[in-house]
Structure 1
Amino acid sequence: MTKKKAIQKPLLNHVIAIRIDDTKYNELKTLLDGNEPNAMSRLLRDILYNEPVTVYAKDPSLDIVMEELGRLRAEIKAIGVNINQITRQFNTYPEPQRKALYAKMAFKEHLALQPKITQLLEIISQLAKRWLSE
């Protein structure tokens, strides 16, 4: 199999130095803070060559929501693991008494899962109202 040739980019041989006022510099700095590469030269090159400049906006109010979603995910996963372990025990023993015991244990875990799912749905509906109303 032959190796594909890399796309040749033109060499950037020329250095251009300009001076700008504080207002324009702060405007560029604001764009740079939301831009992924975080290099002023790359940002200015994208602007000069009319390439798209992607600006990422971070909403600090979502940090708490994301932590809550992560916590709920971990709790739901732990309950799911417990239910899987109980189910494995249920299927291991043929005696009806043991099966009844494991069925009760699994039902208790299922009941513990319900409030977590309700809480998760509330958070999702709040996010939907916030982001899908536009």
Structure 2
Amino acid sequence: MEKNQAPEKPYWLTVRLSPREVQKLKKLLAQSAHCRNLSELVRTILFKQELTIKKRNASLDELKSEIVKVKGELRSIGVNINQVTHYFNGHPDPAEKRYFARKILPLYKKVGQKTEQLMVMVSQLSRL
């Protein structure tokens, strides 16, 4: 027998279920961390083996998507800062350097705002 192949189960057990019971089992199967099909789930329940349920926290999912959004915004701001810094270092004229320095200041302020936003999100994570 191969490693990944389940042991042979030659006996069949037929059980009649209501649509509601089938839905309940399918919901449990979707939440189960280890059962791959209904048969496995029913055997696990029937023989009182430990059933691990995966739970999702909707507020955590929402927070994760916000963090990903802020990460993208910070990456864009960083690219802009790098471009302005490149132009700044490439121009020897002091007037042009002042222009680029003034242009980069709002970008650094945005980084500060996004960092504060991330800190709020991290504190929310610590409360979950």
Q: TM-score, normalised by structure 1?
A: 0.69
The one-letter code sitting in structure 2 at the alignment partner of 1:69 is I
The one-letter code sitting in structure 2 at the alignment partner of 1:104 is R
- Within a 5 Å distance, the mapping from 1:1-134 to structure 2 comes to 7=3, 9=5, 11-19=7-15, 28-35=25-32, 38-44=36-42, 53-130=51-128
How much does 1:52 deviate? Answer: 6.4
How much does 1:66 deviate? Answer: 2.5
Give the Cα–Cα distance (whole angstroms) in 1 for the partners of residues 77 and 22 of structure 2.
Answer: 53
Q: Considering Cα pairs closer than 8 Å and 6+ residues apart, tell me whether 1 or 2 has the greater RCO.
A: 2
Q: TM-score, normalised by structure 2?
A: 0.71
- What residue ranges of structure 2 are gaps of 5+ in the alignment? none
How much does 1:95 deviate? Answer: 2.1
Identity, % of aligned pairs?
28
- What residue ranges of structure 1 are gaps of 5+ in the alignment? 1-5
Give the Cα–Cα distance (whole angstroms) in 1 for the partners of residues 68 and 55 of structure 2.
Answer: 21
How much does 1:88 deviate? Answer: 1.3
Give the Cα–Cα distance (whole angstroms) in 1 for the partners of residues 79 and 3 of structure 2.
Answer: 49
1:85/1:45 CA distance change after superposition, 3 Å: farther
Give the Cα–Cα distance (whole angstroms) in 2 for the partners of residues 129 and 98 of structure 1.
Answer: 48
1:17/1:84 CA distance change after superposition, 3 Å: same
How much does 1:123 deviate? Answer: 1.1
The one-letter code sitting in structure 1 at the alignment partner of 2:121 is I
How much does 1:125 deviate? Answer: 0.4
How much does 1:40 deviate? Answer: 1.1
